[in-house]
Structure 1
Amino acid sequence: MTDSTADYPFELTQTQAPVGVDGESGTRTGTYEPSFAGLSPSTRLTTIEVGQQLDDFDLLLELGTGAFAKVFLARQRSMQRLVAVKISANEGHEPQTLAQLDHDYIVRVFDQRILHEQNWRLLYMQYLPGGTLLDVVEAIHRAEKPPETGQTLLDAVDHALEGRGGIRPTESSTRAELATLPWPDTVAWLGKRLAQALDYANSHGVLHRDIKLANVLLAADGTPKLADFNISFARNVTGASPFEYFGGSLSYMSPEQLTACQPGHTLDMANLDARSDIYSLAVVLWELLTGNKPFDDSAAQAARARGAGAIGDTTALELMLTTRAKGIPPTALAALPETCPPALRRVLLIALSAAREQRWASGAELAEQLQLCLDPSARDLVDPPVRSWRLRLRPFFVPIAFLAIMIPNLLASAYNIQHNQLLIVSQLSEYAQGRFMLVTTVVNVVFFPLGAAVLLYWYRYIILVPRRLRRGPAPPEENLARARRDCLVAGDRAVFIVFGLWLLSGLTFPLTMQFAAGGIPGRSAIHFFGSITICGAIAIAYPFFLLTFYVVRSVYPELVAYGQTSPREAEELRALSRRLPRYLAVAASVPLLGVVAVTFLTPVEIAQVIVPIRALCIGGIAGFVLAYWLSRQIESDVRALERVIGNRVPH
Structure 2
Amino acid sequence: MNSLSGQAVDSGISMAGLGTGQELPESLVSRLIEQWSAERALDARAVLDEHPELWGHKSVVLALAYEEFCQRIDAGQSVDGDAFCRKFPAWEKSLRRLISFHEYLEENPHLLPAAQVEWPRPGQEMSGFAMLAELGRGTFGRVYLAREVNLGGRLVAVKVSLDGAGEADILGRLSHPSIVPVHSVQRGPSEGLTIICMPYLGPVTLFDVMDKLGTAHRRPTGARHILEAIRQARGQWPPGQHSDDAPDPELLRGSFIDGVLHLIAQLADALAFAHAQGICHSDLKPSNVLITAAGRPMLLDFNLAGGPEVLRRRLGGTLPYMAPEQIEAMVSGQAALPAALAVASDLFGLGVILYELVSGRLPFGPVSVKGRLNEVAAKLLRRQRQGPWPLEKTHPQIDPCLARLIHRCLAYEAENRPASADELAAALRRHRSPFCRARRWARRRWLVSLSVAAGLVVSPVAVAYYVASRPAAAVRWFNQAGSARQRSRYHQAEDCLSEVIRLGGPRD
TM score, norm. by length of structure 1? 0.51
- The AA in structure 2 aligned to 1:155 is E
Query: 1:317: which partner in 2?
Result: 377
**Which residue identity lines up with residue 634 of structure 1 in the other structure?**
Y
What is the Cα deviation at residue 150 of structure 1?
A: 2.1
Within the alignment, does 1:77 sit opposite 2:77 as a pair?
Answer: no
- State the number of aligned residues: 366
The residue aligned with 2:118 is 44
Q: Which amino acid aligns with 2:416?
A: Q
Match of 2:305 among 232, 236, 246: 232
1:86 & 1:337 partners in 2: Cα distance? 42
**Is 1:273–2:342 an aligned residue pair?**
yes
Instruction: Kindly indicate whether residue 394 of structure 2 is the aligned counterpart of residue 335 of structure 1.
Output: yes
In structure 2, the CA distance between the partners of 1:372 and 1:130, relative to structure 1 (3 Å rule), is: farther
Alignment of 1:29-428 (within 5 A): 33-37=110-114, 40=115, 43-45=117-119, 48-80=120-152, 81-91=154-164, 93-141=166-214, 145-166=218-239, 173-235=246-308, 240-263=309-332, 265-268=334-337, 272-297=341-366, 301=368, 305=370, 307=371, 310=372, 312-313=373-374, 315-330=375-390, 332-336=391-395, 338=397, 340-378=398-436
- Deviation string 1:154-206 (CA, Å, 9 cap, x unpaired) is 12221233331449998855444313231111110100000000000100111
Which runs of 5 or more residues in structure 1 are unaligned? Answer: 17-30, 389-548, 555-629, 642-651
Alpha-carbon shift at residue 109 of structure 1 (Å): 1.1
In structure 1, distance between residues paired with 2:217 and 2:438: 30
Which stretches of structure 1, 4 residues or longer, exceed 3 Å deviation after superposition? 1-8, 13-16, 116-119, 141-144, 165-177, 264-271, 378-388, 637-641
Structure 2 CA distance for partners of 1:88 and 1:61, relative to 1, 3 Å? same
How far apart, CA to CA, are the structure 2 residues paired with 1:634 and 1:144? 37
Distance 1:158 1:316 in 2: 36
Q: CA RMSD in A?
A: 3.6
Residue type at the aligned position of 1:316: V
**Alpha-carbon separation, structure 1, partners of 2:191 and 2:496:** 58
Structure 2 counterpart of 1:474:
none
Q: Give the 3-state SS of the residue equivalent to 1:191 in structure 2.
A: helix
Q: State how far apart, in whole Å, the 2-side matches of 1:266 and 1:156 are.
A: 41
SS in 2 for 1:125: strand
Question: What is the rounded CA distance, in whole Å, between the counterparts of 1:66 and 1:208 in structure 2?
Answer: 16
Cα 1:104–1:5 shift into 2, 3 Å: closer
- SS for the counterpart of 2:378 is helix
Give the direction of change, closer, same or farther, for the CA distance of 1:372–1:384 in structure 2 (3 Å limit).
farther
Give the structure with the higher percent helix. 1
Q: Structure 1 residues 173 and 132, CA, compared in 2 at 3 Å: closer, same or farther?
A: same
1:380 shift after superposition: 6.2
- Matched with 2:492 is 636
Give, as a single letter, the amino acid of the residue that structure 1 aligns with 2:132.
L
Supply the distance in 1 between the matched residues of 2:365 and 2:216 (Cα, whole angstroms): 22
CA contact (8 A) 2:201 2:243 kept: no
Q: 1:377 to 1:274 in 2, by over 3 A?
A: same
Q: Aligned partners of 1:137, 1:53: CA distance in 2, in Å? A: 33
Amino acid at match of 1:145: R
Secondary structure, in 3 states, of the residue corresponding to 2:328? helix
Greater mean deviation of Cα atoms: 130-139 or 113-122: 113-122
SS at match of 1:44: coil
Match of 1:136, SS state, is helix
Distance change in 2, residues 1:2/1:639 (3 Å): farther
Question: Any conservation in 2 of the 1:109–1:123 contact (CA below 8 Å)?
Answer: yes
Distance 1:321 1:144, change over 3 A: closer
Change beyond 3 A, Cα 1:142–1:351: closer
Structure 2: give runs of 5+ residues left out of the alignment: 1-5, 14-97, 103-107, 447-480, 498-508
Residue 635 of structure 1 aligns with an amino acid whose one-letter code is H
Structure 1 residues 172-181 or 121-130, which shifts more? Answer: 172-181
Q: Aligned partner of 1:60: which letter?
A: L
Identity in percent: 30
Superposition pairs of residues 607-622 of structure 1, within 5 angstroms: none
Shift in Å, 1:74: 1.0
Who wins on radius of gyration, i.e. which is larger?
A: 1
Deviation at 1:264, TM superposition (A): 5.1
